[in-house]
């Protein structure tokens, strides 16, 4: 027995000893005797043959008194040893309900079919026409939190304030530019991790498509599965921040909105409940690194189980394994590599790394491939932007392109040791059928000397 257990036993014995010898009093007894049971409030516990006068007289054969049993006595028909006022009222109401439901139905309460006519049945089953929704043309700055009076907000161009049922490329550009020009928005997201252009993109998508109260564009008109791609337009070269995200995708990992799926719990198979997205609550996005360019920033949804208490994000590997294959394939990460944490590595990268991760040194090589993908894409964007103005001179001057470190890229890919740890944990993850498949390359990797 360790010191902690000894101290715990000593304290328990000391407490019991103090309770038994402190002379605790109650209404009937002057002092607790040896062997008496004490309550949690250090009083002597109730005893029928000692504290109930009616039961004592009945046991001794005396004339019974015309009084009620003690309130804690089980022979008291009114309390039944229950002294809580709330419990007594609840029991009284339960008896009232039991009497009510035991009574036969009145004629007026019985079900009848006098109103079930063929005309009423046809009217009930007839498809209802959906109400047409229109855009109220509200300024995008008003959709954010109300800025202080001194903050300058940029009004939306006329092309973005016209009524529409879909979000065209020019309208998307107008909304994103207005958000980027909003000083209050820039100030509120100053300390957020994603780049400013990505934050503006997520704001526009959340307000125009995802928000159930403000959305004006149907979800599937913009999204293909769970992802949407930033459209290019003729005005993209006028704003270098918007130009830097053209072609990038924004995954919204909401399985109910995208496919109408009820995701079962990985532990107890009960449908998981979901809360507001991380973006809606904290303006947080989830990075996914790949070899096709800068990281993708995903909007994820917290999910939890009301039965077993499981909690996780909608892009967690355990949740992805419970989805149908067509739905899980829309998320660009293999389930065995979606191990939580604060980033994921895309399927395009892990499929390549799986053949390279045979020695310890290849972890650094895989990390360099992720860095090189970002550098190549940035050089392509910069050369495309500045070369455009050689053939299309601008009278108002050329706006400087966002710098790579700090504006175009705000988080960096994992290093070699982190990638190796990621693969080691992936070897322990089962597939959707509960089995583990280890390839020959993985066996070499596991048998390599570190």
Using one digit for the tens of pLDDT, what is the confidence trace for 234-278?
Answer: 899 999 999 999 999 999 999 999 999 999 999 998 999 998 899
The pLDDT-based confidence of 330 (bands split at 50, 70, 90) is: very high
Residue 129: its pLDDT value, please? 66
What integer pLDDT is reported at residue 134 of this predicted model? 41
How does DSSP classify residue 90? H
CB neighbour burial string for 291-312, b if at least 16 within 10 angstroms, e if fewer: bebbbbbbbbbbbebeeeebeb
> Which position has the token pair 């309770």?
19
Residues 6+ apart with CB under 8 A from 315: 253, 286, 298, 300, 331, 333, 338, 344
pLDDT of residue 325: 92
Q: What is the pLDDT of residue 428?
A: 81
pLDDT-derived band at 28 (thresholds 50, 70, 90) equals very low
Predicted confidence at residue 111, as pLDDT, reads 73
Q: What pLDDT is attached to residue 274?
A: 92
Query: So what's the pLDDT on residue 298?
Result: 96
Give the Å distances, CA to CA, from 359 to 224, 290, 425, 438: 38, 21, 16, 16
Residue 131 has pLDDT above 80, yes or no: no
Query: Residue 437 and residue 63: Cα distance in Å, rounded?
Result: 84
Pairing between strand 311-313 and 227-229?
Answer: unpaired
Q: Which of 162-171, 212-221, 319-328, 395-404 has the highest mean pLDDT?
A: 319-328
Over 70: is that where the pLDDT of 140 sits? no
Instruction: Answer yes or no: is pLDDT of 344 > 80.
Output: yes
Q: Is-contact 370 413, C-beta < 8 A?
A: yes
Q: What kind and span of H or E run contains 95?
A: helix 85-102
Mean pLDDT of 134-144: 40
> What pLDDT is recorded for position 147?
42
Is residue 73 over pLDDT 80? yes
Inform me whether the pLDDT recorded for 163 exceeds 60. no
Cα(386)–Cα(106) distance, integer angstroms? 85
Q: What is the mean pLDDT of residues 207-215?
A: 85
* Structure confidence at residue 136 (pLDDT): 44
Q: What is the pLDDT of residue 18?
A: 58
Radius of gyration of the chain (CA): 35
Query: Which pLDDT score is estimated for 166?
Result: 65
Confidence category of residue 156, pLDDT binned at 50, 70, 90: very low
Q: What is the pLDDT of residue 433?
A: 65
Distance CA 62, CA 403 (A): 100
DSSP 297-322: EEEE-EEE-TTT--EEETT-HHHHTT
In sequence order, what are the residues at sequence separation of 6 or more whose Cβ sits closer than 8 angstroms to the Cβ of residue 249? 227, 228, 229, 230, 296
∠ at Cα 135 (147, 127), nearest 5°? 135
436 has pLDDT over 50: yes
pLDDT at residue 130 is higher than 90: no
What percentage of the chain reaches a pLDDT higher than 90? 39
H helical segments located in 234-305: 240-245, 255-259, 278-282
Name which of 34-43, 160-169, 368-377 the model is least confident about.
Answer: 160-169
Residue 148 has pLDDT above 60, yes or no: no
> Sorting pLDDT into bands at 50, 70 and 90, what band is 45?
confident
**Average pLDDT of span 189-216:** 90
Q: Give me 45's structure tokens.
A: 């516990």
Q: What is the DSSP letter of 251?
A: E
How far is the CA of 72 from the CAs of 41, 64, 77, 327, in angstroms?
16, 18, 11, 61
Banded model confidence at residue 360, pLDDT cuts 50, 70, 90: low
State the chain's mean pLDDT as an integer.
80
What is the pLDDT at residue 2?
A: 62
């Amino acid at each position: 027995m360790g010191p902690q257990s000894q101290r715990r036993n000593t304290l328990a014995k000391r407490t019991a000893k103090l309770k038994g010898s402190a002379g605790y009093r109650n209404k009937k007894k002057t002092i607790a005797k040896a062997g008496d049971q004490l309550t949690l409030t250090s009083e002597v516990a109730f005893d029928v043959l000692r504290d109930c006068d009616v039961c004592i007289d009945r046991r001794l054969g005396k004339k019974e008194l015309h009084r009620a049993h003690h309130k804690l006595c089980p022979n008291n028909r009114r309390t039944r040893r229950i002294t809580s006022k709330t419990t007594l009222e609840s029991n009284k109401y339960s008896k009232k309900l039991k009497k009510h439901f035991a009574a036969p139905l009145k004629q007026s309460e019985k079900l009848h079919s006098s109103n079930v006519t063929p005309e009423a049945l046809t009217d009930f089953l007839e498809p209802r026409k959906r109400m047409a929704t229109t855009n109220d043309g509200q300024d995008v700055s008003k959709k954010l939190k109300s800025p202080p009076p001194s903050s300058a907000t940029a009004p939306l161009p006329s092309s973005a304030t016209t009524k529409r049922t879909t979000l065209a490329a020019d309208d998307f550009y107008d909304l994103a530019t207005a958000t980027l020009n909003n000083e209050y928005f820039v100030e509120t997201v100053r300390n957020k991790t994603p780049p400013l252009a990505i934050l503006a993109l997520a704001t526009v998508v959340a307000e125009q498509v995802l928000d159930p109260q403000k959305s004006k564009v149907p979800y599937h008109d913009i999204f293909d599965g769970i992802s949407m791609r930033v459209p290019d337009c003729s005005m993209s070269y006028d704003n270098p921040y918007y130009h830097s995200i053209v072609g990038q995708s924004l995954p919204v990992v909401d399985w109910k909105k995208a496919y109408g799926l009820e995701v079962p719990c990985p532990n107890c198979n009960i449908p998981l409940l979901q809360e507001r997205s991380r973006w809606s609550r904290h303006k947080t996005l989830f990075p996914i690194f790949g070899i096709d360019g800068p990281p993708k920033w995903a909007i994820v949804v917290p999910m939890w189980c009301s039965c077993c208490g499981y909690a996780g994000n909608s892009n967690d590997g355990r949740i992805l394994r419970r989805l149908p294959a067509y739905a899980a394939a829309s998320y660009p990460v293999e389930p065995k590599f979606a191990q939580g944490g604060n980033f994921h590595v895309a399927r395009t990268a892990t499929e390549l790394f799986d053949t390279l991760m045979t020695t310890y040194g290849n972890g650094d090589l895989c990390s360099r491939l992720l860095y090189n993908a970002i550098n190549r894409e940035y050089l392509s964007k910069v050369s495309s932007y500045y070369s455009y103005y050689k053939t299309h001179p601008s009278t108002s001057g050329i706006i400087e392109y966002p710098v790579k470190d700090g504006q175009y890229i705000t988080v960096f890919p994992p290093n070699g040791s982190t990638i190796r740890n990621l693969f080691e944990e992936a070897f322990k993850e089962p597939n959707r059928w509960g089995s583990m498949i280890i390839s020959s390359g993985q066996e070499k990797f596991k048998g390599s000397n570190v």
